[in-house]
Amino acid sequence: MNISNQLSIVLPAKNEAVNLAAHLEDIRSRYPEAELIVVNDGSDDETPKIAEHAGAIVVSHPYSMGNGAAIKSGARTASRKYILFMDADGQHQPADIETLIAELENGFRMVIGARKPQSHASKPRRAMNFLYNKIASMMTGFRIDDLTSGFRLVEAKLFRQFLYLLPNGFSYPTTITMAFLRSGYPIKFVWIEALRREGKSNIRPLRDGMRFFLIILKVGALFSPMRLFLPVSAAIFATGVGYYAFTYFTQGRFTNMSAVLFLSSLIIFLIGIIGEQVSSLHYQTAQESDQK
């Protein structure tokens, strides 16, 4: 199969006038037959005009709706069998697209460009991504090299199955990765060298720190809720047992705090069971859609 002739390339862009022209020219020179889509997420610079001049299909949001929302708009607009998502700021190199295509031709349903550790701009960001990848790998039993990479090639039909799950913010890569793993679709990570962007980043470490921390919770909720809730429930139950033993031997009684801990443990366990059932329904619906 010749994926390059069946390819839509989607670039979410917000105020990327500094980087966009050269980036689009490089992509077009390598893949002249590809459908090029730039999603203008409420830019207030020349981003949409530059994209139009480069011959791209431009989808404009009336205001900034978020990276995930731009991805969803691009996926809905794409008309080809395969979609390649990449940043518009020049960090993702068009030369690496060929590597992703080669892996997809080997039978994978999604191929992700994993940024080498030195590609991250700062040590705190490297440490944060390392932590995300390790926790996600432990919870899924699958080695995840870059949980938050936005550079990925995927079958359009499968990607669209999970659009309703995707958030409008920056955590869409986490959600779609977990959705594919949970549904049993094979994925592949390939190492890439991401370049340093020109201009101002739209990510704020302080603002997005808590948001990215919630990614870890989402990993558990999307892949297997019981893997998240069962250890928490067990830890609280063990704390209740320890506290009860302490108060029994020191005061000879069962305290209200022990009761609260036991009940909390039970409630969290039951939430995990319900979450597991809801999660199964999500992916059962997606798999039924894939079989049609």
Predicted confidence (pLDDT) at residue 22 exceeds the cutoff of 70: yes
> Is the same domain home to 161 and 240?
no
Residue 100: pLDDT band with limits 50, 70, 90: very high
Q: What CATH number is associated with residue 154?
A: 3.90.550.10
Q: Is 22 helix (H, G, I), strand (E, B) or coil?
A: helix
Residue 32: pLDDT band with limits 50, 70, 90: very high
Domain end residue (candidates: 195, 221, 247): 221
The pLDDT of residue 35 is: 97
Pairing of strands 110-115, 35-41: unpaired
Query: Using CA atoms, how far apart are residues 213 and 139, in angstroms rounded to an integer?
Result: 15
Query: Using CA atoms, how far apart are residues 43 and 61, in angstroms rounded to an integer?
Result: 9
> Is the same domain home to 32 and 112?
yes
Tokens 């549904």 belong to which residue? 183
Is there a contact between 176 and 97 (Cβ–Cβ < 8 Å)? no
Using one digit for the tens of pLDDT, what is the confidence trace for 248-264? 899 888 889 999 999 99
Q: What range does the domain containing 124 cover?
A: 3-221
Domain end residue (candidates: 221, 240, 275): 221
- Kindly state the average pLDDT of the residues 275-282: 74
> Is the same domain home to 257 and 282?
yes
> Is the same domain home to 230 and 217?
no
Query: Using CA atoms, how far apart are residues 239 and 218, in angstroms rounded to an integer?
Result: 25
Tokens of 81: 């069998």
> Is the same domain home to 31 and 133?
yes
> Is the same domain home to 68 and 191?
yes
Query: Using CA atoms, how far apart are residues 165 and 280, in angstroms rounded to an integer?
Result: 13
Of residues 30, 264, 282, the one with CA closest to residue 256: 264
C-beta neighbour count of 203 within 10 angstroms: 12
Cα–Cα distances in Å, from 144 out to 149, 174, 216? Answer: 11, 10, 13
Predicted confidence (pLDDT) at residue 215 exceeds the cutoff of 80: no
> Is the same domain home to 166 and 78?
yes
Q: Which residue has the higher pLDDT, 166 or 130?
A: 166
Would you call 84 exposed, middle or buried from its count of C-beta atoms within 10 A (0-12, 13-18, 19+)? buried
Of residues 54, 2, 52, 47, the one with CA closest to residue 25: 54
> Is the same domain home to 82 and 118?
yes
Number of domains in the chain: 2
Amino acid present at 149: S
> Is the same domain home to 216 and 231?
no
The pLDDT of residue 72 is: 97
Tokens of 49: 């005009």
Query: Using CA atoms, how far apart are residues 88 and 197, in angstroms rounded to an integer?
Result: 10
- Kindly state the average pLDDT of the residues 192-204: 64
> Is the same domain home to 44 and 186?
yes
The pLDDT of residue 207 is: 56
The pLDDT of residue 227 is: 80
> Is the same domain home to 272 and 238?
yes
Which spans in the chain are helix H? 17-30, 47-53, 67-77, 97-104, 123-140, 156-161, 172-183, 205-223, 225-251, 256-291
Query: Using CA atoms, how far apart are residues 27 and 38, in angstroms rounded to an integer?
Result: 12
Range of weakest confidence among 1-15, 58-72, 212-226, 259-273: 212-226
- Kindly state the average pLDDT of the residues 210-221: 67
> Is the same domain home to 212 and 247?
no
Using one digit for the tens of pLDDT, what is the confidence trace for 65-78? 999 999 999 999 99
Among positive and negative, which fits the CA dihedral 101, 290, 142, 117?
A: positive
Residue 95: pLDDT band with limits 50, 70, 90: very high
Domain end residue (candidates: 175, 202, 221): 221
The pLDDT of residue 237 is: 96
The pLDDT > 90 percentage for the chain reads 57
